Amino acid sequence: MRGLRWSPIDIAIVFGLAVFGLMTLYPFWYILVISFSTPEAYFASDYHLIPSSFTIEAYQYNLENPQLTRSLANSIFITAIGTTNSLIWTTITGYFLSKRGLAFVSLIFTLFLVTLFFDGGLVPKFILIRQLGLRNNLLAVILPFTINPFFLILTKNYFRTRNPEIEEAARVDGASAFTILFRIVVPTSKPILATVGLFYAVQYWNDWFWPMIYLSERELFPLALHLRNIVTQSTSFEHNTGGIGVTSPATIRASTIVLTIVPIVLAYPFVQRYFVHGILLGSSKE
């Protein structure tokens, strides 16, 4: 498209989208700048566009806070185990459901679909977890979320777009379903596995709600729930005092926020090139 002349409309569109992009990024930049500010600079600056001071005090405070490091460890544990567990079972179930010829495929698929439409609600789930003895156990925020029906549908649809000939050849050579799945199908389905894996990881990393319901011991809190406690406490504090007397919490809050976002922002560019492709292939009805 080289050599095309730029009309005023082109310039207006590019300008508009640039403003939109900056507006999308600004809140993140804003919090990043605050997290490296001194408390004095925080109150002195109006927009936090350009850092006027630089200190890592807020991060030091946070990384020396045992509650934060424990929460970080819990989040890493939940995300690592949860994502692995979810990916394995979603792949297996998606593969099973992609086999149109099997007798029970449509029945089992319907059983999964129903859960998208109707769910028992908060109270029965809480009672179930209590009766299973999983309260205050990290498994309570991992096991119930093993298979997400949306991601299962994406995976199933993606597997259905695959060319069945290679699998057929392996089957003729005597490979078992297990071998075919993990030796042939999985290595050649990277876009969908990366996409679904990212979604699961984000889901586990961001979850604060179910931990809030199922976990009451502070040592078990994930980072998102720890952050929520800081955010709600400080706002009610500011509210009660009319904003007067609030000192360093803003910078510490900001640095906790940055620590919570960083893993997602770091992983994002690597997976981003897969996910648009993965979603679109997965969501097309063959």
Partner 1 sequence: MTTSRRFASASYARNALRDIRMNKMLYLLIIPPLVYLFVFHYLPMYGVIISFQDFSFKKGYFGSDWVGFEHFQWLFENPTFRRAFFNTFKINLLRILIGFPCPIILALLINEVRVTVFKRTVQTVSYLPFFISWVVLAGIFNDLLSRDFGAVNNVFASLGLPRIDFLQDPNVFPFTLVVSEIWRTVGWGSIFYLATIATISPALYEAAEVDGANRLQKVLFVTLPALRPTMVVLLLLSIGNVLRVGFDQVFNLYNPLVYETGDIIQTYIVRSFSEFPRFSRLAAAGFIQSLLGLIMLLVANEGVKRLQDGEGIY
CA-angle at 273, arms to 269 and 274, nearest 5°: 120
Residue of 64, 118, 133, 217 interacting with partner 1 (CB under 8 A): 118
Residue of 11, 237, 265, 270 interacting with partner 1 (CB under 8 A): 265
User: Rounded to the nearest whole angstrom, what is the least distance from the CB of residue 208 to partner 1 in the complex?
Assistant: 5
Q: Which residues contact 135 (CB under 8 A, 6 or more apart)?
A: 129, 214, 215, 216
Residue of 23, 50, 172, 266 interacting with partner 1 (CB under 8 A): 23
Maximum Cα–Cα distance for the chain, whole Å?
A: 76
Residue of 142, 197, 254, 278 interacting with partner 1 (CB under 8 A): 254
User: Rounded to the nearest whole angstrom, what is the least distance from the CB of residue 104 to partner 1 in the complex?
Assistant: 7
Is 102 an interacting residue with respect to partner 1 (CB under 8 A)?
Answer: yes
Residue of 11, 73, 80, 116 interacting with partner 1 (CB under 8 A): 116
Is 40 an interacting residue with respect to partner 1 (CB under 8 A)?
Answer: no
Give the Å distances, CA to CA, from 173 to 146, 179, 183. 33, 11, 14
Question: By the 8 A CB rule, do 24 and 43 touch?
Answer: no
Q: Which is nearer to partner 1, 80 or 116 (CB)?
A: 116
Is 142 an interacting residue with respect to partner 1 (CB under 8 A)?
Answer: no
Cβ-in-10-Å burial (0-12, 13-18, 19+) of 171 comes to: middle
Q: Which residues contact 255 (CB under 8 A, 6 or more apart)?
A: 35, 58, 59, 61, 62
**Residue of 172, 141, 159, 173 lying closest to 92 (CA atoms):** 159
Question: By the 8 A CB rule, do 86 and 145 touch?
Answer: yes
Is 135 an interacting residue with respect to partner 1 (CB under 8 A)?
Answer: no
Taking contact as CB under 8 A, which single stretch among the options 51-59, 64-72, 88-96, 155-163 is the one that binds partner 1?
88-96
Residue of 38, 65, 81, 92 interacting with partner 1 (CB under 8 A): 92
Is 220 an interacting residue with respect to partner 1 (CB under 8 A)?
Answer: no
* Structure-token pair, residue 229: 């406690």
User: Rounded to the nearest whole angstrom, what is the least distance from the CB of residue 127 to partner 1 in the complex?
Assistant: 6
Convert 232-265 to b/e letters by CB count within 10 Å (16 or more is b): eeeeeeeeeeeeeeeeebbbbbbbbbbbbbebee
CA-angle at 16, arms to 14 and 17, nearest 5°: 65
Footprint on residues 43-62 left by partner 1 (CB under 8 A): 43, 46-48
Residue of 44, 111, 166, 169 interacting with partner 1 (CB under 8 A): 111
Footprint on residues 151-190 left by partner 1 (CB under 8 A): 176-178
User: Rounded to the nearest whole angstrom, what is the least distance from the CB of residue 193 to partner 1 in the complex?
Assistant: 17
Residue of 76, 81, 139, 143 interacting with partner 1 (CB under 8 A): 143
Residue of 44, 128, 166, 169 interacting with partner 1 (CB under 8 A): 128
Q: Which is nearer to partner 1, 188 or 272 (CB)?
A: 272
